[in-house]
Amino acid sequence: MPKRALFLVVFILPLCLQITLLSAQSFTNPILPGGYPDPSVCKVGDFFYMANSSFEYFPGIPIHKSKDLVNWTLIGHGLDRESQCNATINLVDVQSNGGIYAPNLRFQEGTFYIITTAIYQDAKTKKSGGKNFIITASDAAGPWSDPVVVRGAPGIDPDLFFDEDGRVWYVGNHKPKDPEFTDQKEIWLQEINLKTFQLMGERYSLWRGACDGVWTEGPHIYKKNGAYYLMIAEGGTSFNHAVMVAKSDRITGPYISNMRNPIFSSRQLSYDNWVHSTGHGDLIELEDGRWYMTLLGVRGDLNRKSNMGRETFIVPVVWEREVRGNGERNLWPVVAPKTGRIERHNPIIFDAIKAPSKKLNFTDDFQSPELGLAWTFRRVPMPNTLTLKDRPGYLRLYTHSNTISNRKRSHFTGIKQTESDFEFITKIHFNPKDDNSEAGIAVIQKDNNFVSFTLRKDKAGMRIEVVHKNKKKNTLKSHKIKSYKGVIKLKLVSSNDQYIFSYATKGKAYKTLITTAADLVLFSGFTGAHIGPYATSNGQNNLDYADFDWVKYVPRPRK
């Protein structure tokens, strides 16, 4: 072997081994990529469980399971039956950004509890209201019980705290009777009957927050060394989002604010930091005494936003005695103690053997008789939206007169976009009989913020179109297909801050239809983008349908 070649082998081989070891000994944030905000986590036996907000999407309240706090598997939803969501809790015609806010997941004596808020705005009066409710299950994967509304419980983002003396407490927020400024909120506490899920006894006002007190919400109570710690979100869920904490010797207060609040935020960082708007945390203690915080954040991939919206991240926590001149030595949580911020790359939490690499790719060839857990709908789907039985091995999506529009239930199902750069491909069999029938894929952020990439029949034949809606619909490209034979592949690639829309008819190579900026559906509101099959008859009533042979989604994480 030549000396130069030998040198390269000797030099490169250790380097490759070093890179492999570093990869095995580290993980990347976010731990739950895609629109999974407001994480709440608990530990049962050897496993961790997490619940997240779902807003107007159905099934609601996704629940993940993990053994290492890094790799999470979706195991079910707290709300997965129409009977749970069309009466007490309305996810049928709920407005955008309504629905399920900030579930709190806890486990006690063989039962999982979720307490959360459902927000609904009356379409006629425009009045909004919230219902705080509880569901339970013996298995986090479900089935979960029907919702029980906690009467007389104002506010959002409630918490259940199980104290050592057997008492159970409801912790919520509301507008104080004597607000000092606009949007001031207050954390309150009241005992709750675990049999009836109704409040009882005296109500206590606990805390109005640490700094400006704007939107004090998302409360959680923890107990350590006999003291009670009240941790909240504050500052609104944007760039000023933050985590605050207060402490008391009694659960009913009074609570003293940590002088070093906020204990975590991205306020001190540039707006152009790789992740911002960090907050709404939940603490978890490991068996070896270490602590971690799960919390939400927004990646700033493009224009200080991303299509994924608010995602779940994790940071380490230590407990330290404060240093004060008067000799007080209160114990407080210190979040991300080494850097004070969320890091992209992190040392693994558990042994590398227990931390396999994240499964980022998603493929569905629709061989199962049931739609997979990853698929969601904007609101409870209508009857006869789709079937996996009429043509086994295909997802048959029927057309409907509804289009993607305000508070409507369109025939769309999608998976969460998990990275800014990705490739999404599907193969469709579509032979409509009626004009205006349309099928393809859509990337939806909101009812008034989406892009569709579809095949549509008109009097002249079949057209392939890219339509963008942001308040108004705008056809970006419309092209007549001359040699359509009933089968088409659609491919959407997001790369270098661009969308590339291409298609391939039967037996043909891919053709690029149009290239656009990748900021068409950037995050606004509370949810991230979903991408998947879509079909409509554009106001007509017919029996047309599209058969989706398979879908393939390949995200490409940025460095």
What one-character DSSP code corresponds to residue 519?
A: T
CA 267 to chain centre: 22
Question: CB-based burial of residue 431 (10 Å sphere; 0-12 exposed, 13-18 middle, 19+ buried)?
Answer: middle
Secondary structure of 57-94 in HEC code, one letter for each residue:
EECEEEEEEECCCCCCEEEEEEECCHHHHECCCECCCC
Secondary structure (DSSP) of 422-465? EEEEEEEEE--SSTT-EEEEEEEEETTEEEEEEEEEETTEEEEE
Question: CB-based burial of residue 327 (10 Å sphere; 0-12 exposed, 13-18 middle, 19+ buried)?
Answer: exposed
Compute, in degrees rounded to 10, the torsion defined by CA atoms 63, 69, 70, 76: -10
In the sheet where 99-108 sits, what is the strand order?
A: 99-108, 111-121, 128-137, 148-149
Catalytic residue among 38, 159, 186, 282: 38
Cis link prior to 62 (omega < 30° from 0)?
no
In which element (H, E) is residue 10 found?
A: helix 3-24
Q: What are the φ and ψ backbone dihedral angles of 275, each rounded to 5 degrees?
A: -140, 140
- Maximum separation of any 2 CA atoms in the chain, in Å: 85
Closest listed residue to residue 163, CA positions, set 199, 191, 139: 191
Annotation marks residue 38 as catalytic: yes
Beta carbons within 8 Å of 389's beta carbon, 6+ residues apart:
369
Residues 332, 322: Cα–Cα separation, whole Å: 7
Catalytic residue among 157, 186, 191, 217: 217
In which element (H, E) is residue 398 found?
A: strand 395-398
Residue indicated by tokens 């057309």 = 399
- Active-site residue numbers? 38, 217
